[in-house]
Amino acid sequence: MSRFSIGPFTRTLRDLVVWNTFPWPQSPGAKAIEAVAEAGREVRRVRAEALTKIKGGLRAVYRTLELPGSNPLKDAHAALDAAVLAAYGFSPTGDLLAQLLDLNLTVARRITAEEPVTAPGIPAGFTTPEQLITSDCIQP
């Protein structure tokens, strides 16, 4: 179990329910799922490349986003943001927090009514989950 400290308190993730309150996209299509996976891989690829050129680790890499001008990492994150919005079916010009709250309330109502909801992870109906799993992530 993961442990962390906040001031004098030591907690485990099991003690928290934070993760239970964030709704997952409820009906993403296969193309949307693949687009999120591809955009995530691209963020990691661009970030890994930047880490070979910039000293100071991820903090230094992400500080480059504050600089004016074009930035491949900024572009990769914008593409990931767009893919995630599409997977959720959210409007990029709408109030994001309102859309998220509406989805959260809908999911809560469905759970209360004992109706099925899509939980975090690869949706059960996605036929090729192996194509989403990569070896370029941080290993424990």
Give the residue from 111, 129, 133 showing the smallest Cα distance to 24. Answer: 111
Q: Report pLDDT for 96.
A: 93
19, pLDDT greater than 70? no
Other C-beta atoms within 10 Å of 41: how many?
A: 16
Residue 16 Cα distances to 23, 53, 96, 98, angstroms: 16, 38, 25, 24
Residue 89 Cα distances to 48, 92, 98, 131, angstroms: 30, 9, 13, 22
pLDDT in tens, 28-70: 999 999 999 999 999 999 999 999 999 999 999 999 999 999 9
Query: Which position has the higher pLDDT, 21 or 105?
Result: 105
Q: Report pLDDT for 64.
A: 94
CA atoms within 13 A on the CB side of 71: 16
H helices of the chain, in order, are 30-53, 57-63, 72-88, 96-112
Confidence of residue 22 (pLDDT cuts 50, 70, 90): confident
To the nearest 10 degrees (0 to 180), the angle between helices 72-88 and 30-53 is 160
Q: Cα 94 vs. chain centroid, distance in angstroms? A: 19
Largest CA distance in the chain: 53
118, pLDDT greater than 70? yes
The mean pLDDT value of the chain amounts to 85
